[in-house]
Structure 1
Amino acid sequence: MKDVLLLVGAGQIGMAIARRIGFDKKIIIGDKNLVNAKKIADIMYNAGFDVNYLEVDLADRISIKNYIQEAQKYGQIGMLINAAGVSPS
């Protein structure tokens, strides 16, 4: 099992950080928009990273718990990159 890195917010900034610190880790990308998560996961996979992606809504406690539980199936979570923007509106 590998150490797990969580990336929440599938965008360019989060991807850049994950590429920098995610070498030899299992990276689980979470985003409210599953299409965005898949797009970033595909880019990272093609660059040689071990990546999975999931839908996660940071404004929903159940969604966050499900994201964490799924990520723990791959190993111990050691890092979190929160690159998601959450608006109160």
Structure 2
Amino acid sequence: MKKGVMILTGVGQIGMAIARRMGYGKKIVVGDLNPESTEAVCRILNEAGFDAVPVEMNLSSRESILNLIAVARKHGEISM
């Protein structure tokens, strides 16, 4: 069964706090330009019991954004 999906763009502290507050029970797709930071945030979220996956993404690139959305849709319906 697919879960609701939350897309998180940017791996800063505010985004992580929002993901922790609102992402429980959802697949969290984390997109950021820096793959090391994205993987680190996903590791932190996963260790805290969330279900997060990293995606390298550049907000200034339409193609990159569409790729992030495509990855998120593979996991379920995007709900936030």
Q: What TM-score do the two structures reach when normalised by structure 1?
A: 0.87
> Over residues 26-73 of structure 1, what are the superposed CA-to-partner deviations in whole Å (9 max), with x where a residue is unaligned?
000000001110010000000000110100000000000011001100
Structure with the higher fraction of residues in strand conformation: 1
- Displacement of 1:11 in angstroms is 1.4
Structure with the higher fraction of residues in helix conformation: 2
Which residue does the alignment assign to 2:47?
A: 46
State the alpha-carbon separation in 2 of the partners of residues 19 and 61 from structure 1: 27
Give aligned pairs, total.
79
1:24 aligns with 2:25: yes
Q: What TM-score do the two structures reach when normalised by structure 2?
A: 0.97
Between the two proteins, what is the percent identity of the paired residues? 48
Any unmatched runs of 5+ in structure 2? none
- Displacement of 1:78 in angstroms is 0.6
State the alpha-carbon separation in 2 of the partners of residues 26 and 63 from structure 1: 19
- One-letter code aligned to 1:17: I
